[in-house]
Amino acid sequence: MKRDSNAYTVIYASVMVVAVAVMLAFTSQSLQSLQKANEDNDKRRQILRSIHIDVPANEAEDAYKKLINDAFFVDDAGEKTEGDAFAADAIKTFAEGKYPVFVANVKGQTKYIMALQGSGLWGPIWGYIAIDDDRNTVFGADFSHTGETPGLGAEIATTYFSAPFAGKHLFRNGRFCSIAVVKPGKQDGEQDYVDGISGGTITSSAVNRMLFDCLSAYVAFLTSNEIKEDGAVDK
């Protein structure tokens, strides 16, 4: 068959596409369980980083079991609902009105870790923010992203960006204000703020919006009086 005949071209293209598809499907299938384990450990590490604990991936599972006592959802009314908050995809549960909360015990003190999710410049961004048991003061935060610009928006994943969140307050005079991500020197004095990333303005604004939108959903939970001394929430 001639190399430039139509039949050869069509057959060549078909064989190539099928061969590549089989190869990719096989690679993906055979590596899936390893990838899932890596992703779960990465999620555990992100949650632990929000309470200032940085462990290597192979120790993440043990550390997570030791430090995170409880994981549940809260609804718009601040009521606790059942469900596997760790395994669930926060984007889906937020759409359903279920917001994940992880309860950690750090040196005898209870910390509540809340999930954040939003859209950055190029794709999803997400994070975890831990608060003290006064349910106002931020203990720590950690942010991640799928594909923000390296060196610019992607810097939100560094401690340089997330460390200043510690000690900030979500409420001012009893009113929910969120925490602003601003250009240095641009704060309005109405709410606590951290510095954004130079050159990563769109991602910084996205984090600002994500903080406000997601934490607003938790306000009922944060202001409910039903949390007992031991940190457990009444049903």
Partner 1 sequence: MGLLTSKQKEILLGPLSKNNPVVVQMLGICSALAVTSKLEPAIVMGISVTVVVAFANVIISLLRNTIPNRIRIIVQLVVAAALVTIVSEVLKAFAFEVNKQLSVFVGLIITNCILMGRLEAFALANRPWDSFLDGIGNGLGYGIILVLIGFFRELFGSGSLLGIKVVPQVFYDWGYVDNGLVILPPMALFIVATIIWVHRSRNKELQEN
In terms of CB distance, is 81 or 201 closer to partner 1?
Answer: 201
Decide: is 198 part of the binding site for partner 1 (CB under 8 A).
yes
Report, in Å, the least distance between residue 232 CB and partner 1.
Answer: 34
In terms of CB distance, is 34 or 87 closer to partner 1?
Answer: 34
Q: With contacts defined by CB under 8 A, how many residues of the chain interact with partner 1?
A: 32
Segment contacting partner 1 (CB under 8 A): 98-106, 146-154, 186-194, 204-212?
146-154
Of 28, 109, 159, 216, the one binding partner 1 (CB under 8 A) is 28
| Whether the Cβ atoms of residue 141 and residue 109 lie closer than 8 Å to each other | no
Q: Three-state SS for 46?
A: helix
Which residue bears the tokens 């202001």?
223
Of 72, 148, 179, 191, the one binding partner 1 (CB under 8 A) is 148
Segment contacting partner 1 (CB under 8 A): 18-26, 90-98, 129-137, 220-228?
18-26
Q: Three-state SS for 177?
A: coil
| Whether the Cβ atoms of residue 72 and residue 96 lie closer than 8 Å to each other | no
Bridge partners, 182 (sequence order): 195
The C-alpha atoms of residue 70 and residue 232 are separated, in whole angstroms, by 8
The C-alpha atoms of residue 227 and residue 198 are separated, in whole angstroms, by 40
Residue 74, judged by CB atoms within 10 A of its CB (0-12, 13-18, 19+), counts as buried
Report, in Å, the least distance between residue 181 CB and partner 1.
Answer: 17
Residues forming contacts to partner 1 in the complex (CB under 8 A) are 3-4, 8-9, 12-13, 16-17, 20, 23-24, 27-28, 31, 34-35, 38-39, 41-42, 57, 122, 146-152, 154, 198-199
